[in-house]
Amino acid sequence: MMLVKARERDALIKSLRAGVAPRTGQYLIQVGRSRELDTLIKDIEHISQSGSTFRLVIGDYGSGKTFFLNLVRAVALEKKMVVANADLTPDRRLQATGGQARALYAELMRNISTRTKPDGGALPGLVEKFVSTAILESKTSGQNPETFIYKKLENLSEMVGGYDFSAVIASYWKGFESGDDQLKANAIRWLRGEFSTKTEARAALGVRTIIDDNSFYDHLKLMSRFARLAGFSGLIICLDELVNLYKLSNTQARNANYEQVLRILNDSLQGISESVGFLLAGTPDFLMDTRRGLYGYPALQSRLAENTFARNGLVDLSGPVLRLASLSAEEFFVLLKKLRDVYAFGDPSKYLLPDEALPAFMEHCLKRIGEAYFRTPRTTIKAFVNLLAILEQNPSANWKELLGQVDVKKDEGGGSENSDKPLELGSEKSDDELSGFKL
């Protein structure tokens, strides 16, 4: 039995009790969806070979989309990828005219992560790694460092905004060499999209452009190539809460964002982009609503349509849409066992619930909300962790008495009628068979 570190255990439990997806320790409670993970791992390998990918992760509210994205993010960091993640909000979109796209870019750059800095804020380290490596290589070859840096960035100059991007990296080198921290800070500010006017950027760095709503996507492509030049395998962009595009009331604004999705999709599948992968998460309505969803945009509907031969239990994971499969009863049982194990720091002697309590808890949930708790497990997991918290802080409490008081409500966007159907657990499968991918 693997012992669980206190830091990972506490972070995991706090996230689950709050009903949010954990950022660390996901592998400790991962179950099922191994085929989906294997597919994304192949995508990561494709990106590392200068390819590009596009995936839409579709699932109901509470079905584990954010958890899945965080798990893929952790795997990508282990594979020496640079990962940038952000949630879409009314103030952060893919396409806009009022600064919302630039705000999304700035959020992505603030959250940029590497294996050595997994919690975001890795952009300065990424630039410094490129600059320090370039200085070392230039000294070895006897070339002028500035000339050598521009030579390494020569391919970027052919892209939209590439020349000024190269000039900003060179400005960072000048600040690095001269000890001018303000110049370095200005370069990072520009790369983060934090300059709001061209005049301000020209005064600080001598460049004539800034990252704005119109150049949002172009600079993501620049950053992906720069990540490769800095010695990483590529860049993965994780965007969650795409349902906020579906909620836009203005048809023109909504279609403009869907057009940006189409552009990203086309560039990724046609191989125009390099060393970049896009992972977008949304709800079934966001995808399939023919009035306001992606299917309401004809060009996207034809590209995202499901394989008509994938029926009667057959699946096709090669297309751009990745639907998260519901957890089975067996997988959910293993998940509860893992949660109990994490709560006890991996020590069986500290278990707060016996084995018999786990199917009893599942039976309770099944009677309260029906089979929906398999499809949208967020609230059920939260209730289970809350039960463990009560037992931990009240040693005299009886789990059988408490179980009758556990109130598990339907999660938003999912649910079915209460069911008295008896719970059936298959005992022929081992934990390892159900645990999915492990780091």
**309-340 pLDDT per residue, tens:** 877 767 778 889 998 877 777 888 888 999 99
Q: In this structure, are 187 and 111 located in the same domain?
A: yes
Range of the domain at 67: 33-326
Q: In this structure, are 309 and 350 located in the same domain?
A: no
Q: In this structure, are 113 and 174 located in the same domain?
A: yes
pTM: 0.83
Domain count, the chain: 2
Q: CB of 255 within 8 A of CB of 297? A: yes
Residue 248 covered by a domain:
yes
* Alpha carbon distance 222, 276 (integer Å): 10
Q: In this structure, are 280 and 310 located in the same domain?
A: yes
Indicate the residue among 311, 326, 341 that finishes a domain: 326
Q: In this structure, are 313 and 409 located in the same domain?
A: no
Residue 20 covered by a domain:
no
Indicate the residue among 272, 307, 326 that finishes a domain: 326
Residue 10 covered by a domain:
no
Q: CB of 38 within 8 A of CB of 322? A: no
Residue 189 covered by a domain:
yes
- Report the run of H or E that residue 264 belongs to, with start and end: helix 251-269
Low-confidence ranges of the chain (pLDDT < 70): 1-2, 313, 369-376, 405-439
Q: In this structure, are 296 and 358 located in the same domain?
A: no
Residue 16 covered by a domain:
no
Quick count: other Cβ atoms within 10 Å of Cβ 82? Answer: 27
In the chain the first and final C-alpha atoms are separated, in Å, by 16
CA distances in angstroms from 436 to 71, 169, 317, 400, 406, listed in the order given: 11, 41, 16, 31, 29
- Report the run of H or E that residue 141 belongs to, with start and end: helix 123-141
Q: In this structure, are 378 and 240 located in the same domain?
A: no
Q: In this structure, are 231 and 152 located in the same domain?
A: yes
One-letter amino acid at 182 equals Q
Torsion angle of C-alpha atoms 148, 153, 154, 157, degrees rounded to 10: -140
Q: In this structure, are 298 and 379 located in the same domain?
A: no
* Alpha carbon distance 226, 161 (integer Å): 13
Q: CB of 233 within 8 A of CB of 272? A: no
Q: In this structure, are 387 and 252 located in the same domain?
A: no
Residue 24 covered by a domain:
no
Which pLDDT does position 32 carry in this prediction?
A: 76
Largest CA distance in the chain: 78
Residue 18 covered by a domain:
no
Indicate the residue among 308, 326, 344 that finishes a domain: 326
Q: In this structure, are 282 and 354 located in the same domain?
A: no
**216-273 pLDDT per residue, tens:** 999 999 999 999 999 999 999 999 999 999 999 999 999 999 999 999 999 998 888 8
Which pLDDT does position 43 carry in this prediction?
A: 94
Cβ burial, residue 311 (10 Å; 0-12/13-18/19+): exposed
Residue 353 covered by a domain:
yes
Q: In this structure, are 78 and 215 located in the same domain?
A: yes
